[in-house]
Structure 1
Amino acid sequence: MARRFRGFLPVVVDVETGGFNARTDALLEIAAVLIEPDAEGCFAPGESWRYHVQPFEGANMEAASLEVNGIDPWHPLRPALPERDALQRVFREVRAAVRRHDCTRAILVGHNAFFDLNFLNAAVERCGIKRNPFHPFSSFDTATLGGVAYGQTVLSRIVEAAGLEWDSSAAHSAGYDARITAEVFCRIVNQFQSIYEARQ
């Protein structure tokens, strides 16, 4: 793994939020999926984590965003964690995986990864977290990879082009979106594996 991605450990991250502004809008849900290699050098989604997140004090939440992701931030049965606690739980597992794979740090994989990475970085800064295992600005974006591999940039269309099954009723949940993005990422990377091996 360390050789394949130049010392970086790819970890798929998806966030659900209260809007599009990482500085002002609430982080409401975060999910992460590890990418694991098999004995033949192919990759598959591994262990995953998903947490509901309490809106930070003063966070903005747009009604249109909540309608899309279906989150009721104040539902009495919603098991939400404080932002710092949710991030630290994810980071603890990611750091362990970085060490296990002899990598130097994690790199975020996301669909339109700029969005997820911005929200992650803003939350890290807000919480004063010093040991963020993710690279602060580099990422792998499945919208770009899907455009290269399949001529598609919309996640549902990439999923279908890759021969995977898209569940529209589960979309816009961080857990589902992270898992299906991980499957897309692995499908594309595995298609290029023979090219990578020929150059080694």
Structure 2
Amino acid sequence: MREIVFDTETTGLDPRTGDRMVEIGCVELWNLVPTGRTFHAYFNPERDMPAGAEQVHGLTAAFLADKPLFRDTLDELLAFIGDAPLIAHNAGFDFGFLNAEIERCARDPVCLSRMIDTVGMAKKRHPGAKLSLDALCTRYGIDRSHRVKHGALLDAELLAQVYVELRGGRQIGLELAADQAAFPTHPPSMPGERPASALRPARPHAASAEELARHAGFIARIKDALWGTAPPLAR
């Protein structure tokens, strides 16, 4: 199953009051395994960058001034996400900004039925615990030492690891032997992919009487064999 984990950075908290998306990062998963395919883009928000937002992600108005507008990258983004489920942390926030930008381009918004919220998943799995991305990375032993500031692609990569853990993490691997053919590691379209083969029964490894006789005849033909001249072991 193909899924997309994504994160956004913005100029503020509410697209309805004029805040804009300035960065998006997407990570592709196939059956909970990262494929290595990502999508990342910065956008010119066509407005100033509030100091509070800049402190969170470090993106300045000057840095974003020469970046493309969201509408210039929309088709590429939509092609990448396709019709896959979209996973985000506090997903309502990210979906709100994503759809606000899409609607600015007079295009249909992404259906909310595709939304998977890892905050909601974490609440069910760890009731009463801290639910921030940092806290979940710490809980699951995910290295976030390189996360000095928020960044959409970096946060999506960290969230992809958190999402796998919320889905069962390494325990998933214990079930693969039951039906390997049903869970390919990568998409079937990847180069060099081979179809899964049926499991074969274990082969018997005991030598037959005929094989033992042939082996004894072969050994008998060897002259001055080392094992024939070795002194007996002391007892």
| TM-score normalised by L of structure 2 | 0.64
Which of these residues, 5, 29, 38, is aligned with residue 35 of structure 1?
29
Structure 1 residue identity aligned to 2:34: P
Tell me, in whole angstroms, the C-alpha distance in 1 between the residues paired with 2:3 and 2:66.
28
Alpha carbons 2:27, 2:34 under 8 Å: kept:
yes
Which of these residues, 81, 86, 103, is aligned with residue 68 of structure 2?
81
Aligned match of 1:164: 142
1:60 deviation in Å?
5.9
Alpha carbons 1:15, 1:28 under 8 Å: kept:
yes
Task: Report the secondary structure of 2:6's partner residue.
Answer: strand
Structure 2 residue identity aligned to 1:19: G
Question: CA 1:60–1:138 in 2, change beyond 3 Å: closer, same or farther?
Answer: farther
| 1:129 has 2:126 as partner | no
Question: CA 1:81–1:65 in 2, change beyond 3 Å: closer, same or farther?
Answer: same
Which of these residues, 64, 74, 78, is aligned with residue 91 of structure 1?
78
Pairing of 1:104-119 with structure 2 (within 5 A): 105-119=83-97
Aligned match of 1:68: 56
Alpha carbons 1:32, 1:90 under 8 Å: kept:
no
1:91 deviation in Å?
1.1
Task: Report the secondary structure of 2:100's partner residue.
Answer: helix
Gapped runs of 5+ residues in structure 2?
179-235
Aligned match of 1:5: none
TM-superposition CA deviations, 1:136-158 (whole Å, max 9, x none): 35521112222333433111110
Gapped runs of 5+ residues in structure 1?
2-8, 38-42, 96-104
Alpha carbons 1:162, 1:184 under 8 Å: kept:
yes
Tell me, in whole angstroms, the C-alpha distance in 1 between the residues paired with 2:130 and 2:81.
30
Task: Report the secondary structure of 1:92's partner residue.
Answer: helix
Task: Report the secondary structure of 2:29's partner residue.
Answer: strand
| 1:144 has 2:115 as partner | no
TM-superposition CA deviations, 1:130-184 (whole Å, max 9, x none): 4x5x423552111222233343311111011112112364441111011101111
Alpha carbons 1:19, 1:60 under 8 Å: kept:
no
More strand by share: 1
Tell me, in whole angstroms, the C-alpha distance in 2 between the residues paired with 1:48 and 1:26.
22
Tell me, in whole angstroms, the C-alpha distance in 1 between the residues paired with 2:30 and 2:114.
20
1:66 deviation in Å?
1.4
Paired residues in the alignment total 173
1:73 deviation in Å?
2.4
Q: Percent identity?
A: 26
Tell me, in whole angstroms, the C-alpha distance in 1 between the residues paired with 2:67 and 2:57.
15
Pairing of 1:1-80 with structure 2 (within 5 A): 1=1, 9-23=2-16, 24-37=18-31, 43-46=32-35, 47-56=37-46, 59=47, 61-75=49-63, 80=67
Alpha carbons 1:108, 1:117 under 8 Å: kept:
no
What is the alpha-carbon root mean square deviation over aligned residues?
Answer: 2.8
- With a CA cutoff of 8 Å and minimum separation of 6, indicate the structure with the bigger relative contact order: 1
1:109 deviation in Å?
0.7
Structure 1 residue identity aligned to 2:41: Y
